[in-house]
A and B are shown apart, each in its own frame.
Chain A
Amino acid sequence: MIATGAPPRDPRRLVIVGQEPVASLAAAIGAAARGTDRVRVVPLTPDRIADFDAGQLASEPPDSTDAFAAIGLSALNYARYDLWAKLRLAGYRCAPLVHPAAQVDASASLGDNVLVGPMAAVEPDAALGPGSILNAGAIVGSSARIGAWCWLARGTIVGAGCAVGDHVVLGSGVELADHTIFPGPGEIDVPGAYRGSYPAGTFRAPEFPDPVRLYGVAGAARR
């Protein structure tokens, strides 16, 4: 069963803390579900992310307000994770945001602070870990698992049964074939089709013709 469009109007307010373009997208989704008057954006410049103090949100207490950490893929999504942690420690619920034009199957599960952008699709039994962001048109196939704090760029395709680890960035034009395993942390920013099983800590970027690999973190570079 596919749930399309906005959920029933949510009575709680939503405060979005972060940067463009994620903040605007999150605000648009929030406004569609809760009304424009119930959504506020607290912009952060890049040099202020680390300094953010949830005390700034005192006028919107967590008992009546949800929050959303709207930072992009900076530092393999660790910047968004750090901001989310501050919001959670301050007591805010960071519910997932689903664009009205996205399609999320009712059997799929979405973690805290997940964002599903316009025309993105999450197929049956797929799961998105906390903080992961699916940009416009990204598709997560049935039974695929996306870890926490991932970033799927516009049009990324993750095939059925794939397993994507935590803190993974998949760039535009990347297509993971069904049942591909890509543990985190890592990044693929070279368009193309990928299949098979990758070691943890694999990084692909246009400036490196071969994969860059991580030494020393548990699970990386071990066979």
Chain B
Amino acid sequence: MRSILRAADYTSTSVFETEERALFRRLWILAGFRSLLDAPDAFVTHRIGGVPVVIQNTTAGLRAYVNRCAHRHAPVQIDDFGTRRLACPYHGWVYDGDGRVRSIPGNEANYGFDGACVAALRLEPVALRIVGGLVFVNLAPDPMPLEAQFHPAFLERAAHASGFVGDTALFAKFDAGYNWKLNFENVVDRNHVPFVHAASFASLAPSLKPPAPGTRPPSPPPQPDAEIGDDLRELSFDWQASFDLPSLPWHEAIERCARTEDYVNYFLYPNVNYIVMSGAIHLIQQYCPAAPDRTEYRITMALGRRTKRLPAAPAILWSQLKSEKRVIDEDTVVLEALQRGLANDAPPAFHGAGEYRLRRIAKVYRKLMEAA
């Protein structure tokens, strides 16, 4: 059956702009791991739905703001992450934990703002929720309840796993030449794994090898379109598999939330795959829309909390991250070629009954877009 998404949904600038409003400025977006923001003045920046956002550990606690100085709209934090007070680098305006202007260097001589004016100046707040070790933000003025987007039981499981995340991580970002939706569809589509990742990822997972001819997969059951629901919460789910993952000496130095062989995905619609490997490595993949045919791919790879000294932690993460990137590159080759072939008059994708998750994503996406 044909997908209800057209090629233009992956290529059109107007669709992209609608997505920014209807999805990314309306839904809860996973911003990162809480444990990486524990230090005073620690911050992380994002661009969500075209809006720059900063999440900062302030004297008032963890806060999110539009990353735009009240003065000339320069970003108050420029780097992707770091530890720096909430102050605009352009003219030195300093903000307090509640986002209010605390000081303006040379106000009297250079600007002449009176006290009432300064008191009214502030950063625009953004809603923030912490779930276990995960930080979510929402740009809507009146955000929907988090539980309207994610099933409470799913949130509970993700909260439990992320509660084990430690304070050491590597961060990488790079451009990918395809629409962000292709990436979320790709990670929930297990059928591509034996073919695209035959020499890498698939070799670790017997359950992901192609079934023998004539065998029928025990799940998922085929479902006709009419039975595919449009509940937003169904788009986010977790999936656990047993992989041939080795037990490593450094595992003893990490507080782990799962067994060595466990590979767990938490798919968080619209644009995150949170992966836990051997209960020891926690990986967030974020597929951030940059243009209809361009995605900013952000990776944060963290170790679990350490129970003893582990000086080699950066080396462990660096080695794992390079392996992860090789798998991602295998996807990128296919997805970028797919994107290049999406002329506006290309027919919609053709889904089998077993691909009900992809059809559900399309159905809910269409509903969200039409509501805008």
Residues on A facing B (Cβ under 8 Å): 50, 75-76, 78, 167, 185, 187, 201, 203, 205, 207-210, 212-217, 221-223
> Does B157 have its Cβ within 8 Å of any Cβ on chain A?
no
Interchain CB contact under 8 A, B83 and A223: yes
Interchain CB contact under 8 A, B172 and A217: no
- Count how many pairs of residues, one from A and one from B, have CB atoms less than 8 Å apart in the complex: 77
Chain A to chain B contacts (Cβ below 8 Å), 12 pairs: A78-B312, A167-B314, A167-B315, A201-B170, A209-B175, A210-B172, A212-B321, A213-B171, A217-B314, A221-B81, A221-B82, A223-B82
The interface residues of chain A lying within 8 Å CB-to-CB of B326 are 207
Interchain CB contact under 8 A, B174 and A215: no
Tell me, rounded to whole Å, the shortest Cβ–Cβ distance linking A184 to chain B: 9
- Top 7 nearest A-B pairs (CB, nearest first) are A76-B315, A78-B312, A75-B315, A216-B168, A216-B167, A212-B172, A215-B169
Interchain CB contact under 8 A, B83 and A221: yes
> Does B329 have its Cβ within 8 Å of any Cβ on chain A?
yes
Residue of A whose beta carbon sits closest to that of B84: A223
Contacts A221-B81, A221-B82, A221-B83 given: A212-B318 contact, CB under 8 Å?
Answer: yes
In Å, the complex CA distance between A78 and B250 comes to 12
**Digit string of B79-106 for contact with A (CB within 8 Å is 1, else 0)?**
1111110000000000000000000000
Tell me, rounded to whole Å, the shortest Cβ–Cβ distance linking B372 to chain A: 33
The interface residues of chain A lying within 8 Å CB-to-CB of B249 are 50
The interface residues of chain A lying within 8 Å CB-to-CB of B315 are 75-76, 78, 167, 185
The interface residues of chain A lying within 8 Å CB-to-CB of B172 are 208, 210, 212-213
Tell me, rounded to whole Å, the shortest Cβ–Cβ distance linking A74 to chain B: 8
Binding site secondary structure of chain B: mixed
Tell me, rounded to whole Å, the shortest Cβ–Cβ distance linking B75 to chain A: 14
Per the 8 Å Cβ criterion, residues 123-182 of B in contact with A are: 166-175
Tell me, rounded to whole Å, the shortest Cβ–Cβ distance linking B196 to chain A: 17
Interchain CB contact under 8 A, A215 and B81: yes
In Å, the complex CA distance between A223 and B77 comes to 12
Residue of B whose beta carbon sits closest to that of A200: B314
**Digit string of B296-332 for contact with A (CB within 8 Å is 1, else 0)?**
0000101000000001111111110110011001000
In Å, the complex CA distance between A182 and B168 comes to 19
The interface residues of chain B lying within 8 Å CB-to-CB of A213 are 80-81, 170-172
Interface centre among A78, A203, A212 (most CB of B within 10 A): A212
In Å, the complex CA distance between A50 and B79 comes to 39
The interface residues of chain B lying within 8 Å CB-to-CB of A76 are 312, 314-315, 318
> Does B36 have its Cβ within 8 Å of any Cβ on chain A?
yes
Known: A76-B312, A203-B170, A212-B172. 10 other contacts (CB 8 A): A207-B325, A207-B326, A210-B173, A212-B171, A212-B318, A214-B170, A216-B166, A216-B167, A216-B169, A217-B314
Interchain CB contact under 8 A, A216 and B84: no
In Å, the complex CA distance between A50 and B318 comes to 19
The interface residues of chain A lying within 8 Å CB-to-CB of B84 are 223
Interchain CB contact under 8 A, B36 and A215: yes
Tell me, rounded to whole Å, the shortest Cβ–Cβ distance linking B350 to chain A: 33
In Å, the complex CA distance between A162 and B316 comes to 27
The interface residues of chain B lying within 8 Å CB-to-CB of A215 are 36, 81, 167-171, 300, 302
Tell me, rounded to whole Å, the shortest Cβ–Cβ distance linking A219 to chain B: 11
In Å, the complex CA distance between A76 and B314 comes to 8
Interchain CB contact under 8 A, A205 and B322: yes
The interface residues of chain A lying within 8 Å CB-to-CB of B79 are 223
The interface residues of chain B lying within 8 Å CB-to-CB of A185 are 314-315
Name B316's contact: one of A50, A75, A201 (CB within 8 Å): A75
